[in-house]
Structure 1
């Protein structure tokens, strides 16, 4: 992974995208979104993760965040959520795509020596330091407009798994520090 996609400034605010392997639509089920939200909340409480904005889409997650050891926090988040999301898929009696998803995650893991039986997230992550106000505003707008452009909602704040509610003056699912 090139340096431009790594968090090299410990005091920086970063736009990060985490993507499910093969862009599989996993976050179509509320249970899986809640598991990810709970994990993000844990990182906020125990690992000094500050969320400025976030959005869970069906197959990827956008975050605008900072943390003293951001690469370590993201590594731990991905490792934990990977294990628990795969287990949630395995044990969900309503999961009609169970065999296909598990096959997909297993196939991805077989291509990588750094994974166990299943790989949920794509390797690495896309880190962009938001060190200019214009870039920060552009990424914030992009993140909140993602569900609108995908055709899921008419207005950003209608998407439950996003900080757009907080920016619209409503209470969102996770605690965020609003950017001005």
Structure 2
């Protein structure tokens, strides 16, 4: 991936988006959602990841995040690699996954065009990092994250979306800004 597409300024805060290939709505089952949140918590405890705002939508994850020491891009690379393996296994093994064959075909088709992924590709390559260079830009992206489930018609109020830092009892407590 080109350097300009990476979150490569040490200690800086970024707005990032991790998206499934073909925008597949994977995060519709609690088991798949748990893999993401458990992995994010691991990265917080062990890799210095700080998450200030987030929302896990059916096909993507938006976050405002930084790494205390080192590059955020390294954490995102590891997170995507690990979660891809875990999620692909979970999809293959879920007893009532009615979309299994279709999803696996989509993941295989995405990998066919990739030099890095030989069999299956879960995440799109880029994280679309945007350096949050000012408090106003930070707040603009935080507002976008909060309102994304409402704009997409999933809930009527952002506080009602369970997989968001806007929820009154978020599954993953945000770090202090």
Aligned length: 175
What is residue 59 of structure 2 aligned with on the other side?
59
Distance 2:3 2:13 in 1: 16
Which residues of structure 2 form unaligned runs of 5+?
none
Pairing 1:29-178 to 2, within 5 Å after superposition: 29-67=29-67, 68=69, 69-165=71-167, 170-178=168-176
Distance 1:64 1:116 in 2: 31
Deviations 1:4-56 (A, max 9, x none): 43213111100000110001111111111111111101100111100001100
Q: In the superposition, relative to structure 1, how do residues 117 and 124 fare at CA in structure 2: closer, same or farther (>3 Å)?
A: same
What is residue 14 of structure 2 aligned with on the other side?
14
Which residues of structure 1 form unaligned runs of 5+?
none
- Structure 1 stretch 170-179 or stretch 47-56: which is displaced more? 170-179
Deviations 1:90-133 (A, max 9, x none): 00011100000001001111111101321000012110011111
The answer to whether the Cα contact below 8 Å between 1:109 and 1:116 also exists between their aligned partners in 2 is yes
Q: In the superposition, relative to structure 1, how do residues 92 and 103 fare at CA in structure 2: closer, same or farther (>3 Å)?
A: same
The answer to whether the Cα contact below 8 Å between 2:8 and 2:72 also exists between their aligned partners in 1 is no
- Structure 1 ranges of 4+ moved more than 6 A: none
The answer to whether the Cα contact below 8 Å between 1:4 and 1:128 also exists between their aligned partners in 2 is no
Shift of 1:154: 1.1
SS of residue paired to 1:64: strand
Distance 1:133 1:4 in 2: 22
